Amino acid sequence: MAEAAFLAPNADLLEWPKKDKRRFLHVVYRVGDLDRTIKFYTECFGMKLLRKRDVPEEKYSNAFLGFGPEDSNFVVELTYNYGVSSYDIGSGFGHFAIASQDVYKLVEDIRAKGGSITREPGPVKGGSSVIAFAKDPDGYIFELIQRGPTPEPLCQVMLRVGDLERSIKFYEKALGMRLLKKVDRPEYKYTLAMMGYADELETTVLELTYNYGVTEYTKGNAYAQVAIGTDDVYKSAEVIKLVNQELGGKITRQAGPLPGIGTKIVSFLDPDGWKTVLVDNADFQKELEHQ
């Protein structure tokens, strides 16, 4: 009886992520030359510089870029730490992805601006989807995917994981994501899962990839985290604590306001050590309004 009483509130709590108003806000990573990367993303990818901030007391600068405003679109948050010109991307980070109506034209534009193409445009092996791969000045890989018009061109963050079933459960339970698609490619020895909050063609997704037999990857110090909006940071943190107990991972910053900014967040690691930050939706909106 006591056990049933204990499980009931937990069961209610675990329903919260599915009811919460969540969306991908931005992905954070480090670059060695902020102006160089801004120039590359705006000229080669067609992104817009949305805002830039310098925090000299902490010795870093940020730039936010994307294909639409931050209050409705997923964007990249680039971090430049004073005096640091290069980073180790590690073996675990995979790529970002950009959807384009004409990948061949996009590749031409990137090449004309001096960008590096690591896979020429063409259909994927055994399929009809047209893709290409480009590398930015810091070595981050961008998959370019040919698609019809989409409200979210910045459409994927791909990370490698050591146990796909565990990761799927983690992102479903801790973050309320849905498993949108799972693809096993035994001929190439990998399985992937697309996780997200809406249809894969309409929004940003997290692409988790498991390479047969590989359970651990190096993280490097380049890629940082994904930020996701929530209506209640404290309630979300309680859910994460429960899921951490079951599946692994840990909270790295307890729920509460950030000093000097006031925006409430909670940050945590998944079982593979990938970091996510949940950001209070109302606070995030206020932050954007005061730029």
Domains of the chain: 9-100+147-290 (3.10.180.10)
Are the beta carbons of 203 and 197 closer than 8 angstroms? yes
Report the C-alpha gap between 188 and 214 in whole angstroms: 13
Q: Out of 143, 152, 238, 289, which one is annotated catalytic?
A: 143
Amino acid residing at 123: P
Report the C-alpha gap between 133 and 92 in whole angstroms: 17
Q: What is the pLDDT of residues 27-62, one digit of tens each?
A: 999 999 999 999 999 999 999 999 999 989 989 999
Report the C-alpha gap between 93 and 114 in whole angstroms: 24
Q: What is the pLDDT of residues 127-179, one digit of tens each?
A: 789 999 999 999 999 999 999 999 999 999 999 999 999 999 999 999 999 99
The pTM score is 0.94
Q: How confident is the model at residue 248 (pLDDT cuts 50, 70, 90)?
A: very high
The sheet that has 24-30: what strands, in order across it? 48-55, 60-66, 75-81, 24-30, 223-230, 275-280, 264-269, 250-257
Known active-site residue 143: yes
Report the C-alpha gap between 26 and 144 in whole angstroms: 19
Binding positions: 77, 95, 143
Q: What is the pLDDT of residues 197-228, one digit of tens each?
A: 999 998 999 999 999 999 999 999 999 999 99
Among 61, 51, 32, smallest CA distance to 221 is for 32
Binding positions for Zn(2+): 77, 95, 143
Q: What is the pLDDT of residues 64-111, one digit of tens each?
A: 999 999 999 999 999 999 999 999 999 999 999 999 999 999 999 999
Report the C-alpha gap between 12 and 6 in whole angstroms: 11
Range from 8-22, 135-149, 252-266 carrying the lowest mean pLDDT: 8-22
Report the C-alpha gap between 37 and 115 in whole angstroms: 11
